[in-house]
Amino acid sequence: MKFAKEIATKSDILVVIGYSVPFFNRAVDRLIFETYINNDREKPRIYFQNPNIDGSFLTAQFKIDEKFITHIQDHNQFFIPHEL
């Protein structure tokens, strides 16, 4: 958890690929998302790549403003943000 928090603090972009956010891992997920969002950055960028769900559940479960979430529906290759 300490390592995950440290990485989330230093990250500029968060890419979530094909993840369903299972209940048993919710505490770790919450820590990562909250640390990332609340790290005093100008504009958090979360790319959520999944062909079946759009990531809007992140707004409800983790209180993430939907304007920070970009849904990537293409599943033919892993998404690499254009900022990198």
Reference 18, options 70, 63, 53; nearest CA is: 53
pLDDT digits (tens, 9 = 90+) for 18-76: 877 788 888 889 999 999 988 877 788 999 999 888 888 888 888 888 999 999 999 89
- Banded model confidence at residue 77, pLDDT cuts 50, 70, 90: very high
- pLDDT the model gives residue 72: 94
Reference 34, options 8, 55, 14; nearest CA is: 8
C-alpha distances (whole Å) from 66 to each of 1, 4, 45 are: 25, 23, 10
Residues 10-20: what's their mean pLDDT? 87
- Banded model confidence at residue 78, pLDDT cuts 50, 70, 90: very high
